[in-house]
Every structure is written in C-alpha cells, then in structure tokens.
Chains A and B, each alone.
Chain A
Amino acid sequence: MKKYLFVLRRPPHSGSHVQEMLDIVLSTAAFDQQVALLFVDDGVFQLKNHQQTRQFQLKDTAAIFAALEIYDIHHYYVEVESLQERGLKPADLLLPVQELYRKEIAALLHSFDIVIGA
C-alpha cells in the first residue's frame, strides 16, 4: 500500500477539472490505497458549502466530496492562508478539515509516497 496525497488548487466549476480529478481520487481509493486531499489556493472553494449548481447545469462536485467518506477517505488538509486570503473559515466548508499553515505544507508533502497535483 502506498500513501497518496492529491493537491487541489483550482476553483470548482472551471471546466471538468474537479470532476476528473475526483475520478482519480476514487479510483485510487478503490485500489485500497491510503488517500488524503490537500486544498490550497482557489482549491479551497471546492469545499465551500451551499454551492448552487443546478440552475447552471454544473456537476455537483460538492456532493461527491461529501460522499468520499464511503471510500474510506477521511483526511482533508486545508492551508490556513488560502482560507484567510479568500475570507473563508473552516465553518464555511462542507467537510471537517485539518488546518495547516503554509510553512507546514512541505513537511506534509514529504510524508506521502505519491503526490498528485494537476
């Protein structure tokens, strides 16, 4: 078993990026690997609660995040500065997250076997 960290940096609903990234996340979890997610930069908006997608015919990716628990994915890291710069607090997110400061991110990356960003 390897430890995978997915680094999500882009806003939701910008093309199919989040959807296709989540497909890799789910495939990796289906192989019984240890999976964690890190949200930085505009990627923190992917976890914003109260996303209204239906009237814009967008994929409801927030619902997929909410379902990741079923796949045994429980580790969600969010960069504190990325939240603050965007006026967000952990309470604005749809999942309980672990907050990390920017200076702690490098050490987090080093603790995984495979880091996948896109």
Chain B
Amino acid sequence: MLKYAIQINTSPYHSQAGENAYQFISAALAAGHEVFRVFFYFDGIYHALRFSAPPDDELQFTARWTELARRHSLDLVVCVSAAQRRGLLTGAEAQQRGKMHNDLAEGFRISGLGQLVEATLLADRFIVFA
C-alpha cells in the first residue's frame, strides 16, 4: 500500500488531465492505496467552482469531486493564491474584499502552497496531472 499525493494543474474544459487524475485516484483508492492529498493549482482551481453548472447531460465534475471527497474523506486543497488570481474566493475572503459569495464547492478547502510541499514530503509517490 502506498501513500499518494496528487497535483492537478489544468481546468476541466481545457484539458483531460483532471479526468485522468480522477480516474487514477479512484483506481488507487479501490486498490487499497491512500490518497493523502489532492492539490489544485494553476487553472486546476476551476475544478472547485461552487457555481459551475454544466448541462444535465454533461459530466458534473465538481459534484463528482465533492462526492469522492465525502465517500473517502479525501483532502481536496485549492491553492489560495491561484484561486484569488482567478476570482475564486471563499466566504471570508469575499467579505474582506467587499464581494458577496463563497465560490468554493463542498468538499474542498482553501490553503497555501505549504500544503503542497508538505504533501510531497509525506507521500510515497507524488504525481502531477498537467
């Protein structure tokens, strides 16, 4: 059994990398491995948009992450600086900046790059999906 840390760098509509990461994580969990943390960086933060609303007959990727996190107690971390650059703010950050909404979907949390470095230090394997 291995302990994995995962980084996702691309947006759902720009690249297949997020889907590949999802399939890899699901397979690793099914095989009894541990996924210590999934870190969303660069355009990867677009996986965590609370208000993404794809048509009903398309993949609900954010809801699927939320469900995977709930089922496996996954630690889904969105980089705060990457998120703020792109307009994804949590409730507290939004308030500080005079904005209104919490943009972060259920099951994700916002934190800093230290969480990524920690994940690479503690994991047996670190994989970047870019």
Look across to chain A and name the residue whose beta carbon is closest to the beta carbon of B114. A27
Which size bracket describes the interface of B in this complex? 10 to 19
Q: Mark A2-32, 1 if CB is under 8 A from B, else 0.
A: 1010000000000011001001100110110
- Which of B41, B114, B116, B130 meets A117, CB within 8 Å? B130
A24 touches B113 (CB 8 A): yes
Q: Assuming the A-B contacts A114-B126, A118-B128, A118-B130, are A27 and B85 also in contact, with contact meaning beta carbons closer than 8 angstroms in the complex?
A: no
- Which of B9, B81, B114, B126 meets A31, CB within 8 Å? B114
B113 touches A118 (CB 8 A): no
Q: Assuming the A-B contacts A16-B85, A20-B41, A118-B42, are A27 and B113 also in contact, with contact meaning beta carbons closer than 8 angstroms in the complex?
A: yes
Give the interface SS of chain A, mostly helix, strand, loop or mixed: mixed
15 contacts between A and B (CB under 8 A): A16-B42, A16-B85, A24-B113, A27-B112, A27-B113, A27-B116, A27-B117, A28-B117, A31-B114, A114-B126, A116-B7, A116-B120, A116-B126, A116-B128, A118-B9
Q: Chain A residues in contact with chain B, CB under 8 A?
A: 2, 4, 16-17, 20, 23-24, 27-28, 30-31, 33, 114, 116-118
Q: Chain B residues in contact with chain A, CB under 8 A?
A: 7, 9, 41-42, 81-82, 85, 112-114, 116-118, 120-121, 126, 128, 130
